[in-house]
A and B are shown apart, each in its own frame.
Chain A
Amino acid sequence: MNDILSILIFFPLVAALLGLVVAEKSIRAYGISVAAVEFILSLWLWFAFDGNDGQMQFVRQIAVIPDFGISYYVGVDGISLFIVIMATLMTLIGIIALNVEHKIKNMILTLLFLEVAMIGVFVSLDAIIFYLFWEFSLVPMLYIIGAWGGEKRLYAAVKFFIYTFAGSLVMLVGMLYMAYVYNQVTGVWSFALTDWYSLVLPVEVQNWLFWAFFLGFAIKVPMFPFHTWLPYAHGQAPTVGSVMLAAVLLKMGTYGFVRFSLPMFPDASVLYITPVAILALIMIVYTAMVAYAQKDMKQVIAYSSVSHMGVIMLGVFAMNVEGISGSVFFMLSHGIVSGALFLLVGVIYDRRHTKLISEFGGLASVMPNYALIFGVIMMASVGLPLTMGFVGEYLSLAGFFKVSPVMALIGGTSIIFGAVYMLNLYKKSFFGPVTNIANQNLKDLNRKELAALVPLVAIVIWLGVYPKPILKPIDNSVKVWVSLMHQKAQSKLAKDTIIVSKSSKEAK
């Protein structure tokens, strides 16, 4: 079973190419079965995965361009494992809930291509292969937004593409420089991450490389002030596009920080905690306020998703096990919760073809099931204890509390702000009398929508009550990487900030 990762990457690719043969009217069944098989394969990966081992597992390395040190090098650890599972799950849910009639075949095949790119990004251990999947993920998304989007879809799609492309090209220069430095030190070319981890770089070099990688990842996250492409992309994308974007594609950025920036440049990362944290705080507070001001439901959720990504960034830059594993967990919960929220907005948009909050009111009495599910997911988004959202948000902030209590406190306002804009949204559209006649005869959730949403609700509650099966493997892997960082750190500041053991008391 050593090649399960390759099967995971290439199965959707083969399925997408063969899918060209399948007739249009049966394509939905084809898409669901392929995505289901892929999801089961990823669950199998989880069962075969040894949760006590924090190192890379199922590693496979095949030289592609040996002269230049590029190899097909894949592996998975506790950090990437669950993101992969989330990607396959959200693809499956996205295809189940798919409601486009127009060119559905193209849509499903595009989603399968997107799945290839997403899984490829999260399991690559070679920088060039990572970059390859990273860039390739833009193409299907461009098509999804551009072909099925709203009125300004072309602008949104092109803006999305160019923003990310520009950032990642600078990152590519960083990667090539990293390989060059590796070549100077060892005499061989290598783009393998595990080789790069072993390199202790001078702090001066780290600083430059940190910002080169930062640009690539920050645009994807998207960090303030590079976030302006996201509201457009979300605003114009079809429901499934927003789901994939919020649930998985944004995680590529934060995952990149965890996988590249932190272990490779520990000193620079510690040095720049404050500026990065300030950007993250601006992201949290500013976009939360913007979210409150939105009139469009989908925009509220889009901005809330940016706001929560800020908390994930704080967790990543906490530089301790709690913060980083919390943020990895938060990536998962953010993926599931924001994905579910976009699906929910899609449900109401299908019925009324509007997303304006002012058009709604009193939906709870017309669509009780919808209101219930929306309520649960909304609570998870706000971070209510016993939902999945709470665990990650709490751990991320608790981790950052050790770095700077004040900033963690400001970050904590995301929970309050979140409650304000989400409850406001909920109150205006679900409670009160049914003011708009058009809403009086809306149908409640149908079977298809329930099939997509109920599993997500179940996961949100299950992992909120008992996160351990997921948190433990994450923890184990994060410990491995944090102790690597601690070992590599040169400056005293970095040594002090990067805390390996879970309790600060033991460290002393």
Chain B
Amino acid sequence: MLSPITVNMASLNFATLSPMLIAIAGGLGILIIDLAKKDLDKTLYVILTVLVLFVDLGVTLGLEINQKGLFGLIAMDGITMLGEIIIIVASMLFIPLSLTSKRFHEFSYPEFFALFLFMIAGFQFMVATDNLILIFVGLETASLALYTMIAMHNTVGAHEAAIKYFTMGALTAGFFVMGSAIIYALTGSVELYDVSKILLNRLDEPGITIPILGSIVMMMVAIGFKVSLFPFHAWTPDVYEGSSAPMAGYMSIVPKIAMMIVAIRVVEPYIDLGIDIVRYIVIAMAVITMTLANVMALLQDSVKRMLAYSSISHAGFVMAAIALGTTKANSSIFLYYFLFLFTNLGAFTLLWISRHKDKTHDTRYHHPYIKFAGMIHIEPVAAVVMAIFMLSLAGVPPFSLFWGKMYVISSAVDAGYIWLAVVMALNSAIAVYYYLKLIVYMFLIETPEGSETIYNNRSLAIEIIVGIAVFVTITSIFYIQPLNSFINYLVSASGY
């Protein structure tokens, strides 16, 4: 005797789905335009993508927070809102970087822009739900699109990067599914807000820690891979090296913040339940990640690899905040990533303007340090801007990331983890060496005879994006207060 299923259309709550739907519709629209008329210029697609994202951003900002949608699957809470804003803003800054003066393979395909919008929709699903299955769907949609976009750069390195990222990604997706399965076996639910409620009653059962530990370890493999935490970080430098520079910058921000939001949703319930082993695992991973990546970054000969290791280290830094679990720590994650977005994307973009078809200065790397020697004489403005980005990444005040670092360290101090704060401080001190190394090359080492770098990939679009990034980096002191209170409001409204 099955009762007929009644679906309450009110619980569909279409509005909460609108950000993803706009991105998907935009992607389909681009495909249809391509179908109707061939040989349209990439500028059209770039601007259309920006416009779609603009509408998307407007709709996202207009949503009310703390509502459910799609039959309860979409959780439109404060951190969803923040995640979507960061994803869309980063994407809007990224996509105009394809308007370079040199032609690149991937941007000549309209499919690139369609895939890009589908990927954004995937990430938006990922951040907007409590449901492990929907997170997985979002994760896979986004990742498959991303692998393809990397491969479309169409160099040997890019193919290697895409294959490497794909195989590793497929493996860790398996871990994510297994972790979800264990959680389902434990609680009978894939809704993360149910999980903590059910687990609370089962905590006293003997032998329960092993499946709990199993679930968190599986989940941390998947999370650690996407966020590039030790020991799942090894793909990062190779993939960044193979991708185009702005793509590498983009990958250091958007997939990571999306996965960090998942990490918050997965890890916080365990920490709130008082399962300390989870906290120790996350802190250990974070500390090892930031330290090891820093040491590795010291040894790099390529600026791009250095920036890859530096973004691993930054991810570890922020991951430590997740383990703290306080509202201030969770707010500082978003503050940090919002500031990191502009600085890091700007830094990668400046590698982009020096992109050349051939490896001009080194047999192996596109961007060895020596390429930037004496940049101050060739491109003084770009050198100064790059130096500002480096100082900001190093955490030198008054540039933006100093405030991010300060909030993260301060939340570690507040939570009673003084040793963690000191480790973070010392790591920042190690990190300053490799950022300074680039500054030293740009300002203080003379250009070797006959190997002047030609910065011929620049264009007005790139200059505008870098201009925005540097403006945000320099003027941070004036907007930290409203930005942080906005973030704090949204994070505490969603109960984290």
Which of B391, B439, B444, B481 has the most C-beta atoms of chain A within 10 angstroms of its own C-beta?
B444
Q: How far is the CA of A143 from the CA of B391 in the complex (A)?
A: 13
Asked whether A161 and B485 contact (CB < 8 A) given A131-B397, A132-B397, A139-B396, the answer is no
Asked whether A180 and B413 contact (CB < 8 A) given A65-B481, A139-B391, A169-B426, the answer is yes
In the complex, A326 has a CB within 8 A of chain B: no
Q: Which one of B60-68, B189-197, B427-435, B457-465 contacts A?
A: B427-435
Instruction: Choose among A68, A139, A169, A177 the residue that contacts B413 (Cβ–Cβ < 8 A).
Output: A177
Query: In the complex, what residues of A have CB within 8 A of residue B410's CB?
Result: 68, 176, 179-180
In the complex, A40 has a CB within 8 A of chain B: no
Closest A-chain residue to B478, C-beta based? A64
Query: In the complex, what residues of B have CB within 8 A of residue A177's CB?
Result: 413, 418, 421
Q: How far is the CA of A143 from the CA of B432 in the complex (A)?
A: 15
B432 pairs with A65, CB closer than 8 A: no
A67 pairs with B485, CB closer than 8 A: yes
A146 pairs with B444, CB closer than 8 A: yes
Asked whether A172 and B406 contact (CB < 8 A) given A67-B485, A143-B443, A158-B440, the answer is yes
Instruction: Choose among B418, B443, B484 the residue that contacts A68 (Cβ–Cβ < 8 A).
Output: B484
Report A69 CB to chain B, min CB distance, Å.
Answer: 11
A162 pairs with B440, CB closer than 8 A: no
B480 pairs with A142, CB closer than 8 A: no
Query: In the complex, what residues of A have CB within 8 A of residue B485's CB?
Result: 67
Which of A135, A136, A139, A165 has the most C-beta atoms of chain B within 10 angstroms of its own C-beta?
A165
In the complex, B41 has a CB within 8 A of chain A: no
A161 pairs with B414, CB closer than 8 A: no
In the complex, B398 has a CB within 8 A of chain A: yes
In the complex, B55 has a CB within 8 A of chain A: no
Could you give, for residues 59-103 of chain B, a 1 whenever the CB lies within 8 Å of some chain A CB and a 0 otherwise?
A: 000000000000000000000000000000000000000000000
Instruction: Choose among B409, B444, B477 the residue that contacts A172 (Cβ–Cβ < 8 A).
Output: B409
Determine chain B's interface SS by DSSP, over half rule: helix
In the complex, B436 has a CB within 8 A of chain A: yes
B396 pairs with A136, CB closer than 8 A: yes
Interface size on A, residues (CB 8 A): 33
In the complex, A111 has a CB within 8 A of chain B: no
In the complex, A153 has a CB within 8 A of chain B: yes
In the complex, A157 has a CB within 8 A of chain B: yes
A170 pairs with B422, CB closer than 8 A: yes
Query: In the complex, what residues of A have CB within 8 A of residue B428's CB?
Result: 165, 169
B397 pairs with A138, CB closer than 8 A: no
A138 pairs with B444, CB closer than 8 A: no
Determine chain A's interface SS by DSSP, over half rule: helix
Could you give, for residues 338-359 of chain A, a 1 whenever the CB lies within 8 Å of some chain B CB and a 0 otherwise?
A: 0000000000000000000000
Instruction: Choose among A68, A154, A165, A176 the residue that contacts B440 (Cβ–Cβ < 8 A).
Output: A154
A157 pairs with B440, CB closer than 8 A: yes
Report B410 CB to chain A, min CB distance, Å.
Answer: 4
Report A319 CB to chain B, min CB distance, Å.
Answer: 28
Interface size on B, residues (CB 8 A): 35
Q: How far is the CA of A334 from the CA of B428 in the complex (A)?
A: 33
In the complex, B425 has a CB within 8 A of chain A: yes
Query: In the complex, what residues of B have CB within 8 A of residue A153's CB?
Result: 444
A170 pairs with B425, CB closer than 8 A: yes
In the complex, A147 has a CB within 8 A of chain B: yes
A64 pairs with B409, CB closer than 8 A: no
Query: In the complex, what residues of B have CB within 8 A of residue A180's CB?
Result: 410, 413-414
- A141-157 interface (Cβ within 8 A of B): 142-143, 146-147, 153-154, 157
- A79-94 interface (Cβ within 8 A of B): none
Asked whether A176 and B421 contact (CB < 8 A) given A65-B481, A65-B484, the answer is yes
Query: In the complex, what residues of A have CB within 8 A of residue B432's CB?
Result: 161-162, 165
Query: In the complex, what residues of B have CB within 8 A of residue A65's CB?
Result: 477, 480-481, 484
Query: In the complex, what residues of A have CB within 8 A of residue B414's CB?
Result: 180
Query: In the complex, what residues of B have CB within 8 A of residue A173's CB?
Result: 409, 413, 418, 421-422, 425
Q: How far is the CA of A136 from the CA of B392 in the complex (A)?
A: 11
Report A148 CB to chain B, min CB distance, Å.
Answer: 10
26 A/B residue pairs, CB under 8 Å, sorted by A: A64-B481, A68-B481, A138-B396, A139-B391, A143-B444, A146-B440, A146-B444, A153-B444, A154-B445, A157-B440, A157-B444, A158-B433, A158-B437, A158-B440, A161-B432, A162-B429, A165-B429, A166-B426, A169-B395, A169-B429, A170-B422, A170-B426, A172-B425, A173-B421, A176-B413, A208-B418
Q: A68-B407, A158-B436 are in contact. List 16 more A-B contacts (CB 8 A).
A: A65-B481, A65-B484, A128-B397, A131-B397, A132-B398, A142-B439, A143-B444, A147-B443, A154-B440, A162-B429, A170-B425, A172-B409, A172-B425, A176-B409, A176-B421, A180-B414
A-to-B contact residues, CB < 8 Å: 64-68, 128, 131-132, 135-136, 138-139, 142-143, 146-147, 153-154, 157-158, 161-162, 165-166, 169-170, 172-173, 176-177, 179-180, 208
